[in-house]
């Protein structure tokens, strides 16, 4: 959601401002019911679908329209709503605002009956912006914290990788030697299963050589970038280095796998391509 800082705050275009939608990182494992189960709470025999009481993060002023939900012109707050429907294509719920200060709500804000403020205005919203009154609020808070944490990590990783990709290749930086490149090409073309006509064509071989050089240059840039960031943490405070996962060393150098004799020739031909 867009932020509305005061005059003493920093501009909203700082690098720390989130730009990825929060619903991309929503974890559905926190949901105690499926969308059909939530809507089933409002179904009664002999009557139509009734709205499900909930709270949703919606724009304060319905008169301000914008195609972009993150537009700075929109200011959001939590409203009491009634859930009407669910779209499997958009993975969003259809809600409408209800009166918050009327006889339809008790002192705790719980809905006794649904009375929409404006039946003509309805909103499609993702699940991360919708809190059902029948769910545990503590679990819903954990759900939002999970999405915020993963979005922060994803944006930090995007900035890190973009910084590495945009680094120019310095004249003095190490590059892949011609002898090493020729040895890689010779090993690839001499491997059984990797010698069809498509690999022999000079056009494809040239493209693979360019990709190999580019991958080598990016690896050297990443190593150089990591070194500078680690030695100058204050200067590069906006860049977060990704955590290096420790590799699990197997106890044995072989894999115990029972292969039927009839499949051995097929697997033998595919193995060089799979293990390359």
Q: What is the mean pLDDT of residues 36-63?
A: 85
pLDDT in tens, 49-60: 788 999 999 988
- What are the structural domain ranges in the chain? 22-153, 169-242
Closest CA to 81 of 65, 59, 63: 59
pLDDT in tens, 182-224: 888 887 777 666 655 555 556 677 788 888 888 888 888 888 8
The pLDDT of residue 102 is above 50: no
The pLDDT of residue 243 is above 90: no
Q: Is residue 66 very low, low, confident or very high in pLDDT (cuts 50, 70, 90)?
A: low
Is there a contact between 110 and 142 (Cβ–Cβ < 8 Å)? Answer: no
pTM recorded for the entire structure: 0.70
Distance CA 109, CA 170 (A): 63
Distance CA 22, CA 149 (A): 10
């Amino acid at each position: 959601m867009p932020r509305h800082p005061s005059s003493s705050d920093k501009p909203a275009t700082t690098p720390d401002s989130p730009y990825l939608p929060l619903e991309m990182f929503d974890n559905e494992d926190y949901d105690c019911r499926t969308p059909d189960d939530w809507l089933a709470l409002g179904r009664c025999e002999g009557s139509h679908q009734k709205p499900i009481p909930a709270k949703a993060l919606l724009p304060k002023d319905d008169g301000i329209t914008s195609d972009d939900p993150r537009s700075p012109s929109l200011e959001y707050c939590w409203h009491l709503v009634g859930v009407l429907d669910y779209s499997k294509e958009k993975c969003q719920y259809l809600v409408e605002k209800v009166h918050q200060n009327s006889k339809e709500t008790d002192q705790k804000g719980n809905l006794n009956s649904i009375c929409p403020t404006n039946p003509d205005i309805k909103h499609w919203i993702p699940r991360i912006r919708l809190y059902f009154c029948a769910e545990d609020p503590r679990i819903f808070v954990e759900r939002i914290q999970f999405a915020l944490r993963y979005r922060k990590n994803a944006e930090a990783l995007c900035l890190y990788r973009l910084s590495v990709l945009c680094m120019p290749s310095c004249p003095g930086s190490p590059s892949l030697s011609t002898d090493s490149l020729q040895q890689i090409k010779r090993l690839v073309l001499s491997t059984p299963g990797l010698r069809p006509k498509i690999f022999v064509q000079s056009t494809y071989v040239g493209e693979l050589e360019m990709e190999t050089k580019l991958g080598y240059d990016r690896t050297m840039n990443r190593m150089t970038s990591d070194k500078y960031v680690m030695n100058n943490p204050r200067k590069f405070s906006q860049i977060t280095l990704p955590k290096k996962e420790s590799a699990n060393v197997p106890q044995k150098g072989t894999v115990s796998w029972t292969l039927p004799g009839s499949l051995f020739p097929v697997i033998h031909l595919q193995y060089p391509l799979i293990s390359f």
